[in-house]
Every structure is written in structure tokens, then in C-alpha cells.
Amino acid sequence: MRMKFFERTYLITFVLFLVFLNVAVFALAMYTFHNSTEAAKSVCLTEISSIADAFEKDYEYSGAQSAGILQAAYGKFYKERNIFLKFINEGNVGYSGISEEIPVPALNTLSVTRNAGKRYVVISRSICDNTFTLVYSKDVSYLDKEFTRLCIVFVAGSLAASLLLGVILYFVLRKLYVPLIKLRNATGDIANGNFNVRAEDKGDDEVSALARDFNIMADKVSRQITQLKDTADRKQNMLDNLAHEMRTPLTAIHGYAEYICGARIPDEERVDAAKYIMSESMRLKDISEVLLDSAFIRENGIKAKDISLRGLAYRTCNRLDKDAVNRGVSIFCVAEDVFISADEYLLDILLSNLIENAVKACKGGGEVTVGTELTEDTVSLYVKDTGIGMTEEQLLHITEPFYRTDKSRSRADGGTGLGLALCKRIAQAHGTNLEFVSEEGKGTVASITFTRLYQNLTTQG
């Protein structure tokens, strides 16, 4: 299966070679044979000429009456030299050293005949002023033998050449195919999910180029897979946390309801239990609200309009002031009247969350300052506290859903653990980022930077 392409190339090359080699060998054999036949023929023609000349001279000298003796003498003489003669005197056969079965060709022509397994060249010629017809015949069977020998040599040669080529071709092709096979193995591995495999891409032929492209592709795929896995992990983690956050209040609600229903307890305890049910269901409500807000931003985006940071900061600070005072924390609002383009409702959620976190970080006693910082074209809204601060490790994770800095997941402070995740989303929806600078034991500054629109100078200070 894996070697199909290799086998095909090998077979096609090999068969083509065999066909051409054998055709060439065959043609060569035929040519050689033809040449030696022609050579034999011309030898025969020369011989008959000299025989005819000699005979004509002898005939002239000895006279017509001793023609029969002369013919016999010639016949005998040449028979010993493997040449057979036949004399025909005006239709009657005189001396004949040639079998009757060999047909006599027309005058002055040459024919090649087979008889009794032998090959003869037969030539007839009129001699002595057409008195006789001289038929000359020579056994040329050696040509057949030669042809057979030639064939054997050629066939053996071509066989040897084919064999040699077969072996060499195999190894040469093998070597050419190794990179391809390696590439194929690499693709197979990746197809099976092993994304760390890379193909060998040394060299500068097409296969190496293919391997390089393939490696680039594999890199991209594996990067994307890792990304997808990360995203999936994060989502799963978020889901696990969400399940945990929902289950805890649910356990309390169910448990206290059961308790009220079935336990033998005084009325005061029933009231206590009912209070727990109420506070725990509020927690569920908070979680669902944050999730809804989050989904709302995702679905609808933001409805931006020009808003004053000063107005926003004052409203939010006033609303949260009572809670802060209860915790012994003072909130100072020093925001300037700078206008930005933002969604007021979402920005209010963001600022509330930041201020609430800042107040909680102060752990009773401390200050929270909400203010603005201007540059040429931007304005940063910041919330600064004098609280416990955070470590760098904590800073990295605070915007993750359900992350709590005190690791305790202690919900004594309330809150869903989703606040900063929502803030981050709001900031991103506004095309900006939430930034935190913190020092353990000294406090935290959270800030978000916007493009500045204009400043109302009349209300400044």
C-alpha cells in the first residue's frame, strides 16, 4: 500500500527499458544477419562468375564433344569445395550435383532455398553463348548457425543488462523516494494526533519544499489546537467554578428549607434559617445578574454617549458612601469634569465594583480616592485605596472569574467573585483595558484609560 507509487514508477521505467532494449537488440541482430547474408551472396556471385569464366575457357579449348566430361570434372572439383553445380544443355540436364528438389531459379537470378534442413544459395546462369545453363548452389547453413549464436549472445546480453538495470533502478528510486516516505510517515503521525512530529526538509527539491510547507502548516495547526485547548480549559474551569459558586448557596437554601420543614426547633431558629435562605438566594441573584450583564454586553455591545467622569464618579461615590462609612472607610472623589464617550450604565457598574473592592481591601479604616489623571489626549479614571494590596501573583489572576485574592473563597465580604471579570469585559467593550498597580501592605490603584473628548473648565476645582 505504502509503496504503490514507488512500485508503479519502478515497473513503468523497467518495462519501458525492457521494450526498448529488446527492440534495439532484435533490430541489431536482424541487421547483422542481413549483412552477413548479403556478404555470402556476393561471395557466391563472384564464385559463379569465376567458375563460368574458367569453364568457358576450358570448353573453348576442349571442344563441344568433351563437354560432358568437362562438366563432370568441374562438378566433382567444386563439390569438394562445397559448391554444387548443375549443367543443363538446352532443356536436358547434363551433369547434376544438385538435388532435384531444389528448384532452378530463372536465369541470372539468385535465390535462397531450404532443403533437407539446410540453406542453399542457388544461382543460374547461361554460359558459352547460351549453350548451357550453369546452376550454382552453395550450402550457406552456417548463416543459420551464426544467426542462432547471435541471438543467444544478444538475448543473454539483454537479460544481463535488464537484471543489472533492475537492481540499480531499484536502489536509485529507493533513494529518491526516502524523503517522500518520511514525509508521508510524518503526515500519518500528525493525522493520528501527534502534533510534535515534523517532516525532514533538508535539500532544495520539490519534496523538501513540500516538507517545509507541510511543517509550516503543522506548526499553525498545532498552535491553533493548543489555543483551542486553552480556551476549552478556561471555559471548563469557569464552568466548574460557576457550578461551585451556585452549589454552595443551593446547598444552604435546600438545607435550611429542610431544616425548617422537619427539624424539631423553636421558632427563633426557624427565623434564623429563613434569613439564611434569603441571604443565600440573594447571592444566587447577584451571580445571575453579573452573568446577565456579561451576556448583555456580549450580545448588545455598548451604547456610548458623551458622559462626564466627574458626574459619574460623584454619583457612584455618593451611593456607596454609606456602606464605606459603616466599614470605617472614607471615600474621596476628586474627579475632574472631563467628558468621554462611554456607556454610562456599564461604566457605573465598573466603577462601583472597583470602589467596593477598594473599600473591602481597606479592612476597616483607610481611604479610597476616586480621581482622574489627564494627558494630552487621554484621561485615566483611577480608584486608589490604602488597603492590604496584592502580590504580583494575585494581580495576574484577579480578573479571572471566581478568583478571590484571599484564596479563602471566604464570602464573608459578600460578592460573587465575578466583579472584576465583568469590569474587564466592560473595559474591553470600550476598547480599553483595566490596569492594576499594587503593593502589598500599601494599597492598590486600579485605572482605566479613555480617549479624552473635552473638558468643562467652568466646573473645575
Partner 1 sequence: MAKLLIVDDELPINRLVCKNLTLVGHECIPAYDGVQALTLIKSEQPDLIILDVMLPGISGFEIMKLLNSVPVIFVTAKTGLDDRIKGLALGADDYIVKPFEMAELTARVQAVLRRTKRGADTFSFDDITVDFSSRNVYKSGSLAVLTPKEFSLLELLINNRNLALSREKILEKVWEYDYCGDTRTVDVHVQQLRHKLGIKDRIKTVFKVGYRFEI
Query: Contact residues for partner 1 (CB under 8 A)?
Result: 240, 243-244, 247-248, 250-252, 254-256, 258-259, 261-265, 269, 273, 276, 279-280, 406-412
- Smaller CB separation from partner 1, 227 or 251: 251
Q: Nearest distance from residue 361's CB to partner 1, in Å?
A: 17
For residue 438, the minimal CB distance to partner 1 (Å) is 20
Nearer to partner 1 by C-beta: 412 or 457?
412
Q: Which residues contact 48 (CB under 8 A, 6 or more apart)?
A: 123, 125, 134, 136
Q: Please state the closest distance from residue 265 (CB atom) to partner 1, in A.
A: 8
Separation between Cα atoms, residue 54 and residue 49, nearest integer Å: 9
Query: Could you tell me the smallest distance in angstroms from the CB atom of residue 355 to partner 1?
Result: 25
Joined grid coordinates for residue 30: 536482424
For residue 317, give the nearest of 364, 346, 356, 374 by alpha carbon: 356
Q: Using CA atoms, how far apart are residues 398 and 406, in angstroms rounded to an integer?
A: 11
- In this structure, what C-alpha cell is assigned to residue 162? 535488464
What are the grid coordinates assigned to 191, written together? 493525522
Q: How far is 371 from 387, CA to CA, in rounded Å? A: 17
Is the Cβ of residue 369 or residue 416 nearer to partner 1 in the bound state? 416
What's the min distance (Å) between Cβ of 250 and partner 1?
5
Query: Where is 49: in which H helix or E strand?
Result: helix 4-62
Provide, rounded to whole angstroms, the least separation between the CB of residue 238 and partner 1.
Answer: 13
Over its C-alpha atoms, the chain yields an Rg (Å, rounded) of: 57
Q: Provide the 3-class DSSP secondary structure of residue 438.
A: strand
Q: Which is nearer to partner 1, 224 or 391 (CB)?
A: 391
- The answer to whether 344 and 455 are in contact (CB under 8 A) is no
17 vs 402, which CB is nearer to partner 1? 402
Would you say 87 and 104 are in contact if contact means Cβ atoms under 8 Å apart? no
The nearer residue to partner 1, 46 or 251, going by C-beta atoms, is: 251
The set of cell numbers assigned to 15 is: 518495462
From the CB of 378, what's the least distance to partner 1, in Å?
39
- Of 269 and 439, which CB lies nearer to partner 1 in the complex structure? 269
